[in-house]
Amino acid sequence: MNLTPINFRQRRLAGAVFVCALGACSTVSDPQTQTAARTEALCVRDQVSIRTDFPVGGQHGCALREDGFALTVWPEAAVDARINPSPWYAFSVEGNEEAEVNITLDYGSHRHRYSPWIKSGDSDWRKMKDAQVDVRDEGRIAVLTVPASDHNQIIAGLPIVSVADTDVWTREIAEHHGLEVVEYGQSIEGRSLTALTAGPEDAGSVVIAMTRQHPPELNGAIAFEAFVEKVVARLGEPSFANTRFVFFPMLNPDGVENGYWRHNMGGVDLNRDWFSLKQPEIRTAEQLIQREAAGKDMLAFLDFHSTWSTLVYFHPFSTPNTDSTFPMALKAALDEAFEPSPDWISSHNDGKGTSKNWALQTFRTPGMTIELGDGASRSEAERVGEITADTLFEVFFTE
């Protein structure tokens, strides 16, 4: 696994691109330009500042307290329904004062969900001690006690994995295992959308896996990466010779980089857009999947997420014209591996544009949304990914 934490001192740079195509010219802001407004400290008090101008920094307002700061924890603008309550926060505390500061997280009508992690300088991420976190007012307020020193510190809802970190993983795994990196589109802010492909283009079957439609759902990404690493380690074996694999490691780069709770820059939950295809991140992914799946049998369609506890959303095993052998085998394997066993929630709503519903209706493939618990350990998340890969091998690739 190589989920490298972000470089703390990384800063966005301003820039713009002058584009001419088919006789028309325009100035297109690059992703950095559109976030350049956040290059000032949110708050400064007694030589200690609060900043969010780094990749995956949260959406916060800031006020001064006598003994520190108060930060709002804001969701991004939402076009459709009320936003899913996944209040992400990520900010840095910088300064040279030795005294502690108290930081009040004000969730408004939402509630504290992610236990804070902290990273000082070049050290690894560690969980903040319980004694440093005081959750009040039924979760609507959390007061963090933070030692401020001359070492920079980032505090976030989970250890940060930025788009650049994921890109490093993508390029390394492609290089080590001979996978192809496909740039299949651009996000609204102009970030490259990247997938990995493996296996012969004219194979008879295809497997699709994806993650990070929802920015803070990091444990899902850990399971996804463990799944992919286990699969690609066996690609040279004869039983894989007739299968194509398409992996999407970062479906919502703009949401991730802007510290969003849920949506893309279009204010849309991407895992509701698979039928309407109004957002470029999903429209271009759908086009790639359609191209890759043409003439092939889709063996599996896996979408890795995180939620309150580890569980799987799936279709009823009795869904007509679908083969549920793989989902049933995966349920048995996860039941055996975990105590308590993960919930399996059977749901299918034709009108809801989730990836798994789209996979079922488009390819008759029983798509699965595999959710890791917010509090799952890294090893548990990796184990879910590995068990998913092992079960895939048993069902489809065992002679």
Residues designated as active site: 371
For the CB of residue 213, give the shortest distance to Zn ion in the complex, in Å.
Answer: 6
Q: In sequence order, what are the residues at sequence separation of 6 or more whose Cβ sits closer than 8 angstroms to the Cβ of residue 184?
A: 193, 194, 195, 284, 285, 287, 288
Q: Tell me the backbone φ, ψ of residue 342, rounded to 5 degrees.
A: -60, 145
Distance between CA atoms of 313 and 305, rounded to whole angstroms? 10
- Cβ atoms within 10 Å of 34's Cβ, excluding its own: 18
CB of residue 84 to Zn ion, shortest distance in Å: 8
Min CB(141)–Zn ion separation in Å:
26
Residue 254 near residue 280 (C-beta atoms within 8 A): no
- Binding span for Zn ion by CB under 5 A among 41-49, 127-135, 180-188, 305-313: 305-313
Least separation, in Å, of the C-beta of 22 and Zn ion?
38
Please say whether the beta carbons of 10 and 55 come within 8 A: yes
Of 70-78, 113-121, 159-167, 208-216, which segment contacts Zn ion by CB under 5 A? 208-216
Integer CA distances (angstroms), 123 to 8, 149, 164, in order: 10, 14, 19
Which pair of structure tokens corresponds to residue 340?
């308590």
Question: Is 51 among the residues that bind Zn ion (CB under 5 A)?
Answer: no
**Comparison of 230 and 305: residue with beta carbon closer to Zn ion:** 305
- Written as six digits, the tokens of 371 are 């959710």
Task: State the Cα angle at 207 between 206 and 210, rounded to 5°.
Answer: 140
* Interface residue with Zn ion, options 214, 230, 331, 356 (CB under 5 A): 214
Q: Give 53 or 269: the residue with its C-beta nearer to Zn ion.
A: 269
How many residues sit close enough to Zn ion to count as binding (CB under 5 A)? 3
Q: Which is nearer to Zn ion, 142 or 372 (CB)?
A: 372
Region near Zn ion per CB under 5 A, out of 16-24, 202-210, 253-261, 300-308:
300-308
The residue at minimum Cβ distance from Zn ion is 305
Residue of the chain from 12, 305, 331, 356 that contacts Zn ion (CB under 5 A)? 305
> Residue 38 gets which letter from DSSP?
G
H or E stretch at 336: helix 325-337
**CB 214 to Zn ion: min, Å:** 4
Q: Which residues bind Zn ion (CB under 5 A)?
A: 214, 217, 305
